[in-house]
């Protein structure tokens, strides 16, 4: 298994000055806007299905 991914920017202000937070796994804090947030993986989505064929338009 590979390392956990880290966020590249704050979801609130967009700054890149992020540090791990003491709250636990997936918790980060932004030094620019003084916000703390937590990331959580919810799961994989089912593939989108529709009644239309996947091909392009025929001319």
Give the tens place of pLDDT for each residue, 43-53: 999 998 766 66
Query: Cβ neighbours of residue 52 under 8 Å, at least 6 residues apart?
Result: none
Backbone angles phi, psi at 42, to 5 degrees: -90, -30
Q: What is the pLDDT of residues 21-44, one digit of tens each?
A: 998 889 999 999 999 999 988 899
Q: Are 46 and 54 in contact (CB under 8 A)?
A: no
Residue 36 DSSP code = E
What pLDDT sits at residue 52?
62
């Amino acid at each position: 298994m590979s390392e956990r991914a880290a966020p590249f920017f704050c979801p609130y202000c967009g700054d890149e000055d992020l540090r791990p937070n003491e709250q636990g796994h997936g918790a980060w804090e932004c030094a620019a806007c003084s916000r703390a947030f937590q990331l959580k993986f919810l799961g994989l989505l089912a593939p989108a299905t529709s009644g239309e064929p996947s091909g392009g338009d025929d001319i």
